[in-house]
């Protein structure tokens, strides 16, 4: 984002602080809804799997294709928001998403569903729009918390987990008005389509009419210049761990709970929500911690805890036979019961919730003039991780025959991120003067940011 003085607000309009808060709450509400739409196949695919006889791999690709299209355009939408303002871009994006969301209600084949899933994946790009829009309205000292509040819209992933089982049970399968209003699971995307239209109207009529466009007039080459920096790609790997894996698990966990622990759809959805809530709602806390202690220190906490937890989650169920006197044989079963599994998953979720905000606190600190472009690229690559991980989970499980292999894949990616972070810090400490040898984040006049050299 540029540091140029933003467009003033005319007399009689919203005050600057009030306008910023209006942008924050409108964008957060819209992002929550868009995130619910983006990941709705995570729960709807269960009745879909039964209706269409989908395999585990087909199921994973149905969810992944929506994540793909919600990843590819994040850089573009971030730049567009900087140039034309979040009010315009967010409203148009919500309207575009409403069309394929309605069409899901009337899909009859797997091919049709795949096409609709790809198109409604546009919803995932709303993250880049909201990040750039809020960064334009909030000062540096409040950006960590504001971006954390906006990012808490990830909790939208749990919305479908709660409403879909109820809707499927209550709404008649034949629908209403002779099928014009579809029933059963098809009513869920129909309802989301209506809500999206209402949200587009709210964004347009309730947000400040005189928007901030920090990228207006800047050359595209200048906006893309920071992408040559290696640290942008390092931040992207971090975001694969804390966001991409979050998206993948939000889609994957209902089926995992059903297949491994034999739970019904309702309990599986509820336990998945226990993962989604901390991974989403703790994001403001992560922003606060990053403002206070620095993003790098927070990421150390996050990666350390997640590495330990995913290693335990990756342990397969084992049966040990112990011979005893008199020819007796004792069998010991070692594995995680559903409650211990959920507790460890909660630790992972806490790390993801705090870590997502910490990664995005890095960006305005290092690239204050280019939050749209850098945030868009980091978000795009992180979300692409969410696209790739469900098929990776499926293939790991298929090849090993062990469902816990899902978490071994996640352990590897998390451990690599921790290693890269640690190597970067070691190099930074060697380069800095001895009096800051134990500092992770060097304070500046504008707050707890770091003026790093090279790829620090």
CB 48 within 8 A of CB 185: yes
Q: What six digits make up the tokens of 253?
A: 């966990």
H or E segment at 334?
strand 329-334
pLDDT of residue 22: 94
Q: Specify the CATH architecture of the domain 16-323+330-436.
A: Up-down Bundle (1.20)
Query: How many helices, marked H, and strands, marked E, lie in the chain?
Result: 19, 2
CB burial string 201-211: b at 16+ within 10 A, e below: eebbeebbeeb
Distance CA 70, CA 248 (A): 13
H or E segment at 299?
helix 295-313
pLDDT digits (tens, 9 = 90+) for 245-275: 988 898 789 888 988 898 887 888 889 888 9
Residues with Cβ within 8 Å of 65's Cβ and at least 6 positions away in sequence, in order, are: 114, 117, 118, 121, 387
Distance CA 200, CA 92 (A): 8
Distance CA 81, CA 215 (A): 8
Query: Which whole-number Å values give the CA distances from 312 to 301, 393, 412, in the listed order?
Result: 17, 17, 12
* Maximum Cα interatomic distance, the chain, rounded to a whole number of Å: 93
pLDDT digits (tens, 9 = 90+) for 76-130: 998 899 889 999 999 999 999 999 999 998 888 889 989 999 999 999 999 999 9
56 three-class SS: helix
Distance CA 155, CA 184 (A): 24
For residue 319, the 8-state DSSP code is: E
Question: Sign of the C-alpha dihedral, residues 117, 118, 120, 122?
Answer: positive
Query: Which whole-number Å values give the CA distances from 258 to 247, 253, 385, in the listed order?
Result: 18, 8, 24
Q: Is 268 left (phi over 0), alpha (psi -120 to 50) or beta?
A: alpha
List the one residue out of 53, 50, 134 whose CA is nearest residue 90: 134
CB 447 within 8 A of CB 292: no
pLDDT of residue 432: 67
Domain ranges of the chain: 16-323+330-436
Pairing between strand 329-334 and 318-323? antiparallel
> Do you know the residue count of the chain?
456
pLDDT of residue 325: 63
List the one residue out of 425, 414, 423, 430 whose CA is nearest residue 450: 425
Q: What six digits make up the tokens of 241?
A: 């761990």
Distance CA 54, CA 45 (A): 9
Q: What six digits make up the tokens of 134?
A: 């809020």
Q: Quote the pTM value.
A: 0.72
List the one residue out of 381, 377, 401 whose CA is nearest residue 389: 381
Distance CA 126, CA 31 (A): 6
Q: What six digits make up the tokens of 75?
A: 């850089």
pLDDT of residue 439: 58
Each residue's pLDDT, cut to its tens digit, for the chain (456 residues) gives 433 434 433 433 458 888 999 999 999 999 999 999 988 887 787 787 778 887 777 777 887 788 888 888 988 998 899 889 999 999 999 999 999 999 998 888 889 989 999 999 999 999 999 999 998 898 877 878 888 899 888 788 778 777 877 887 888 876 787 777 888 888 999 999 999 999 999 999 999 998 988 877 777 777 777 777 888 889 999 999 999 998 889 878 988 898 889 888 788 888 988 898 899 889 889 988 988 888 899 999 999 999 999 999 998 876 666 666 666 666 666 678 899 999 999 999 999 999 998 998 888 888 877 777 888 889 888 888 888 888 888 888 888 888 888 899 999 999 999 999 999 888 877 776 555 555 555 444 444 443 444 344
pLDDT of residue 7: 40
Question: Sign of the C-alpha dihedral, residues 107, 109, 113, 116?
Answer: negative
């Amino acid at each position: 984002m540029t540091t140029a003085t933003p467009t003033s607000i005319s007399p009689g309009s919203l005050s600057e602080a009030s306008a910023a808060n209006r942008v924050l709450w409108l964008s957060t509400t819209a992002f929550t809804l868009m995130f619910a739409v983006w990941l709705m196949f995570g729960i709807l695919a269960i009745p879909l799997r039964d209706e269409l006889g989908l395999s585990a791999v087909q199921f994973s690709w149905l969810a992944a294709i929506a994540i793909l299209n919600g990843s590819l355009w994040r850089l573009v939408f971030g730049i567009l928001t900087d140039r034309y303002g979040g009010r315009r871009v967010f409203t148009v994006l919500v309207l575009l998403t409403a069309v394929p969301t309605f069409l899901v209600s009337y899909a009859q084949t797997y091919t049709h569903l795949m096409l609709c899933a790809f198109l409604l994946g546009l919803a995932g790009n709303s993250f880049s729009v909201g990040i750039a829009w809020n960064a334009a309205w909030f000062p540096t000292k409040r950006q960590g918390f504001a971006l954390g509040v906006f990012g808490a819209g990830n909790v939208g992933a749990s919305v479908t987990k709660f409403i879909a089982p109820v809707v499927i049970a209550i709404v008649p399968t034949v629908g209403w008005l002779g099928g014009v209003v579809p029933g059963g699971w098809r009513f869920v995307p129909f309802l989301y389509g209506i809500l999206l239209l209402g949200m587009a109207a709210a964004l347009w009529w309730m947000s400040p009419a005189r928007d901030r466009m920090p990228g207006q007039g800047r050359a595209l080459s200048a906006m893309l210049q920071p992408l040559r920096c290696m640290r942008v790609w390092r931040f992207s790997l971090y975001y694969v761990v804390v966001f991409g894996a979050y998206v993948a698990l939000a889609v994957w966990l209902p089926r995992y709970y059903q297949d491994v622990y034999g739970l019904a759809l309702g309990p599986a959805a509820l336990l998945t929500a226990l993962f989604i809530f901390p991974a989403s709602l703790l994001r403001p806390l992560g922003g606060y911690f990053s403002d206070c202690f620095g993003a790098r220190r927070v990421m150390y906490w996050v990666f350390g805890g997640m590495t330990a937890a995913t290693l335990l989650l990756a342990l397969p169920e084992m049966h040990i036979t112990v011979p005893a006197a008199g020819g007796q044989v004792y069998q010991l079963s070692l594995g995680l019961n559903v409650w211990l599994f959920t507790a460890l998953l909660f630790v992972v979720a806490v790390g993801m919730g705090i870590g997502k905000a910490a990664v995005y606190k890095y960006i305005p600190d290092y690239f204050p003039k280019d939050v749209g472009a850098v945030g868009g690229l980091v978000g795009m690559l992180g979300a692409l991780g969410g696209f790739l991980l469900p098929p990776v989970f499926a293939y790991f499980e298929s090849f090993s025959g062990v469902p816990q292999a899902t978490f071994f894949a996640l352990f590897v990616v998390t451990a690599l991120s921790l290693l890269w972070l640690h190597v970067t810090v070691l190099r930074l400490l060697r380069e800095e003067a001895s009096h800051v040898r134990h500092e992770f984040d060097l304070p500046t006049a504008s707050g707890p940011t770091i003026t790093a050299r090279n790829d620090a």
